[in-house]
Amino acid sequence: MALNDKKQTDKNHTFFQSFRHALEGLRTTLADEKNFKRHLVIATFVLLLGFLFGVSKLDWLWLIVVIFLVLIAELWNTAVEYLIDLLVAKHYDPLAKKVKDISAAIVLVAAFLAAIVGVIIFMPYILNFLNL
| Amino acid code (one letter) for 119 | V
User: Is 24 marked active-site?
Assistant: no
Sequence-separated (6 or more) residues with CB below 8 Å from residue 131: none
Contact yes or no for 56/63 (Cβ under 8 A): no
Catalytic residue among 24, 33, 74, 81: 74
Q: How far apart are CA 32 and CA 30, in angstroms?
A: 6
The residue length of the chain stands at: 132
Q: List residues with catalytic annotation.
A: 74
